[in-house]
Amino acid sequence: MKKLFFLPALAILGLLFIQGVTKSEPETKFISHEIAPDMPPQVKAIVEQKCYGCHNAESKNEKGKKKLDWDEFEASKKAKQMATKGKIVEALENGDMPPAKFLENKPEGKLTEGELATLMEWSAGKKKSPKE
């Protein structure tokens, strides 16, 4: 009688253990809109449209990927994200992004004044006031 009780109990425990071991978090990509939670939707849209093509883990642009990989940014710790944001501000202030050579072939990649301001505000950690 005791064996009949223990067999189903062991089977249930075994299933629970196997589920716990094999259960893993789903892998996310930048484009899946699972970027850093503090990234506002308007910033995500600009990054996806104007930046992500050259700055992602699968990009053929090795230089762009090395300077900034948005996939890596998403997975990095807050301190590294803050340092990266500082570099983004610097590149935008200097007019280094998007590069002039890139814009010769793809002028539609140029950031508008509004897009530039939005990226600068986000990168610098400024929040828009409710009046804006």
Tokens 């849209």 -> residue: 45
User: pLDDT category, 32, cuts 50, 70, 90?
Assistant: very low
How much is the pLDDT for 31?
Answer: 44
**Is residue 99 in some structural domain?**
yes
Q: Is residue 18, in this structure, part of any structural domain at all? A: no
Give domain status of residue 82, yes or no.
yes
Q: Is residue 130 part of a domain?
A: no
pLDDT band at 29 (very low <50, low <70, confident <90, very high): very low
Which long-range contacts link 108-114 to residues 24+ away (Cβ below 8 Å)? Answer: 109/50, 111/46, 111/50
Structural domain containing residue 83: 41-124
Q: What is the domain count for the chain?
A: 1
- Report the predicted TM-score, pTM, of the whole model to 2 decimal places: 0.64
Tokens for 37? Answer: 């939670």
Q: Is residue 87, in this structure, part of any structural domain at all?
A: yes
Query: Is residue 20 assigned to a domain?
Result: no
- For the ranges 1-15, 24-38, 41-55, 90-104, the lowest mean pLDDT is seen at 24-38
